[in-house]
Copies of this chain bind each other. A is one copy, B any other.
Amino acid sequence: MTYCVGLLLQDGLVMIADTRTNAGLDNIATFRKLHIFEKPGDRFVAMATAGNLAVSQAILSLLTEGLEDPRTGEEQTIWSVGSMFNCAQLVGKAIREVYRIDGPSLQQQQASFDVSILLGGQIRKGRTRLFQLYAAGNFIEATADTPFLQIGEHKYGKPILDRAAQFTTSLEQGLKLALISMDSTMRSNLAVGLPIDVAVYRRDTLKADLNYRITREEPYFADLRERWSRALREAQVNIPAPPYWSA
């Protein structure tokens, strides 16, 4: 299982992903799911993947090795595309190419072609955008109305985002929200686990503001988890008793 969130905020982007992969309960491993493609001054692109690991890795390889543009005959890569929209199209094309190659064999083995991707960033003078791509290679885009997108085990971490994530939320608050949302998910689903990768991108800077791995030893995340649990318990205690029943 996997949990990844992307927040598209007024000031930029926050992306977070766990690193646990598992095939059954006794076959777990750590793989990076948040991939950063950064060329300062030119582009910052962050991509988080969920689903079948072989499919995700094949897509990543195609994005860096290149896919031929049928109109021009040129190889397109994540480094050559000229806009975030073209980037999302290229990732969609890579998904479809992997499906073309591996889909029939996966079907023969009753394995599903299961992949979803969050793709955020900015290329040159273009807008900062955040997309979610499906296994069909098509995609949706985050907007000011719904500034966050999630892939993987999304339910446990959604209530806090529903309540607090807005387009006008600052990057710092957005990062904390993403960490709280990840914590809620990790507490309830064993298949989502540390380390966690986080990236913060400030609009129009064309470089990562933060590209960081939170390990088991990281004291801030442990402190945040503890503070959040305590705050929730206090908030609940401070709500007045129902008028229709007294203990």
Contacts and interface: CB of A to CB of B under 8 A. Distances in A.
Contacts of A188: 155, 158-159, 162
Most buried by B among A184, A212, A224, A235: A235
Interface string A160-195: 101110000011110111011000100110000000
A163 B232 contact: yes
Contacts of A236: 160, 164, 173, 176-177, 180, 228
A25 interface: no
B164 A232 contact: yes
A179 B239 CA distance: 11
A203 to B, nearest CB: 13
A157 B184 CA distance: 11
Contact of A200 (B163, B177, B245): B245
A29 interface: no
B245 A209 contact: yes
A156 interface: yes
